[in-house]
Amino acid sequence: MGLFDRLGNGWKMGMSSLKVIKKNKQLVLFPIVSSIALILVIASFIGILFAQVGTNFDEVISQGSIGDYILTFIYYLICYFVIIFFNVGLVHCTRIYLKGGEPTVGAGIKFAASRFSVILGWAMLSATVGLVLKAIQENSGTLGNIISGIIGVVWSVMTFFVVPVLAYEDLGPIEAFKRSSKIMKEKWGESIGASFSFGILSLAGFLLIALPIGFICSLVHPVFGIAMGVLAAFIIQSIVSAAEMVFVASVYHTVVEDQPLEDFDSDLLDDLFVKK
């Protein structure tokens, strides 16, 4: 299967995921709330730094002290926890829908809360990996940037299925990573290029929707145009992010339970996730 065939199939899968979002619009609330929470976390850390050093952020960043790395680890930990928590809730709601139930945001939040310790363990592992990559970047120059970039890509690929694994399999962080890697190696095959469809969806939404909205609104007032453009881009990205997690949950459901899905082409799923 060629690259363009994979991208074409990925586009179809993205459209199928968007159909699920269209039928369950409340699923978009998970990435929206997650993004708002992350903004609050970032604002809190900026406030802490500002209280300590005023506007001399460059001085703090360049120090590279143990305290800086501890603060960075805590920042990564909270951010990863927030992201995974809401993704687990979204995956659970998707699973409820795939099994014929009626998903609710409350059910997703409640389920994610029940997996608190598992999510925290994974967030700690992710924060550790992130901190190591940051240390490599800061202390190894250009070569470090290349190495950390490669490791980052591999990490992203191998953890593709980690959210549903954390949600439904009683595994610790290391075991969850191994399990996700195993599913990826068995089912992803040569079709990883299809996942870029969500990037295409984001770009298309920005160029065809957010940018025109921002331009039109800027005719009223430049600030109003910027605000509306950013808001439109935020909503589009939230929809795409929700669709991507629906895609992950749906494929995991197919892989683990080997059941056809109403909103997805089962033959297309088989083509995308074939054994090498």
Q: What is the mean pLDDT of each run of 10 residues along the chain (276 residues)?
A: 61 79 91 93 83 59 68 92 96 90 92 95 94 85 84 88 91 91 69 65 88 93 93 91 87 73 66 51
User: For the chain, what is the domain count?
Assistant: 1
Looking at residue 27, its pLDDT comes to: 92
Looking at residue 191, its pLDDT comes to: 45
Q: How many Å separate Cα 96 from the centre of its chain?
A: 20
d(CA 210, CA 228): 8
User: How many residues appear in the chain?
Assistant: 276
pTM for the complete prediction? 0.84
DSSP 103: -
Domain of residue 126 covers 3-272
* CA distance to 196, 202, 208, 223, 224, per residue, from 218 (Å): 31, 22, 16, 7, 6
Q: Are 249 and 164 in contact (CB under 8 A)?
A: yes
d(CA 98, CA 214): 37
Which is nearest to 18 in space by CA: 197, 233, 192? 197
Which is nearest to 7 in space by CA: 182, 197, 153, 241? 197
Looking at residue 276, its pLDDT comes to: 41
- Would you state the structure tokens that stand for residue 245, as one six-digit string? 């997690």
Looking at residue 190, its pLDDT comes to: 39
Looking at residue 141, its pLDDT comes to: 75
- Would you state the structure tokens that stand for residue 102, as one six-digit string? 């009626």
